[in-house]
């Protein structure tokens, strides 16, 4: 899920020899749009996808996409880091200064705020262009009052992923805690990598996020 160390995980994979692609790949190929159109072949046939062997950020964390990926690439390994739910929500809240993260139309599908978006569009309080834009100040916001709703979405996402792999391929999924200081060494064990005992990866993309308001 976003705000659970995806960029840091991508850096870890790059540091250990993987050709890992993240947000830039999505932006260049419009993978998120293809995901919501269920045009998965466009994603899998793209050059950036085929030239990489590790993937982080959107659209890979989108709900239930792991099922499509696992069915198409049954030998793939999946990494799921869990963050304290309140800390996760606070990170999401501060990510874009209270704006919904990314294009409202996609954000609302992921976090079950479609009816609210539909109402704004019908009342002409938001234009279609605004609903599809990931840049600038947003009409739709995330506030502290949304905490319970977003945490419920987050835990549903996490529990669904764990349940899916438990029922289909338990050895394909690594689960760990973002707050665990030994997480990188544990991920290394999962991927059969040698990871230095003092290795650490933490990437704060606050500047990049403020410019692109991604995800």
The DSSP annotation for 153-167 comes to HHHHHHHHHHHHHHH
Residue 140 DSSP class: S
pLDDT tens digits along 87-146: 999 999 998 889 999 999 999 999 999 999 999 999 999 999 999 998 889 999 999 999
pLDDT tens digits along 3-58: 999 999 999 999 999 999 999 999 999 999 999 999 999 999 999 999 999 999 99
Can you read off the two tokens belonging to residue 82?
A: 């869990």
The DSSP annotation for 15-79 comes to HTT--EE-HHHHHHHTHHHHHHTT-HHHHHTSHHHHT-SEE-STTTTSTTHHHHHHHH-TT--EE
What pLDDT is stored for residue 203 in this prediction?
59
Q: The whole model's pTM is what? A: 0.88
The verdict on whether omega for the bond into residue 77 sits within 30 degrees of 0, i.e. cis, is: no
Name the one residue in this structure whose structure tokens are 């239930």. Answer: 64
* Neighbour count for residue 75 (Cβ, 10 Å): 7
């Amino acid at each position: 899920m976003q705000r659970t160390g995806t960029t840091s995980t991508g850096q870890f994979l790059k540091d250990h020899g993987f050709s890992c692609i993240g947000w830039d790949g999505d932006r260049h190929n419009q993978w998120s749009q293809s995901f919501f159109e269920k045009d998965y072949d466009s994603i899998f046939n793209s050059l950036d996808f085929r030239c990489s062997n590790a993937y982080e950020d959107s659209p890979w964390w989108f709900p239930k996409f792991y099922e499509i990926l696992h069915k198409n690439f049954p030998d793939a390994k999946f990494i799921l880091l869990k963050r304290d739910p309140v800390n996760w929500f606070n990170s999401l809240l501060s990510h874009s200064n209270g704006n919904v993260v990314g294009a409202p139309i996609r954000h609302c599908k992921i976090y079950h705020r479609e009816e609210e978006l539909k109402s704004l569009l019908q009342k002409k309080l938001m234009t279609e262009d605004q609903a599809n834009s990931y840049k600038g100040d947003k009409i739709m916001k995330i506030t502290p009052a949304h905490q319970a709703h977003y945490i419920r979405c987050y835990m549903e996402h996490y529990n669904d992923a764990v349940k899916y792999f438990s029922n289909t391929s338990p050895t394909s999924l690594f689960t760990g805690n973002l707050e665990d200081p030994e997480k990188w060494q544990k991920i290394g064990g999962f991927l059969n990598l040698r990871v230095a005992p003092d290795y650490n990866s933490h990437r704060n993309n606050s500047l990049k996020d403020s410019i692109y308001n991604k995800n």
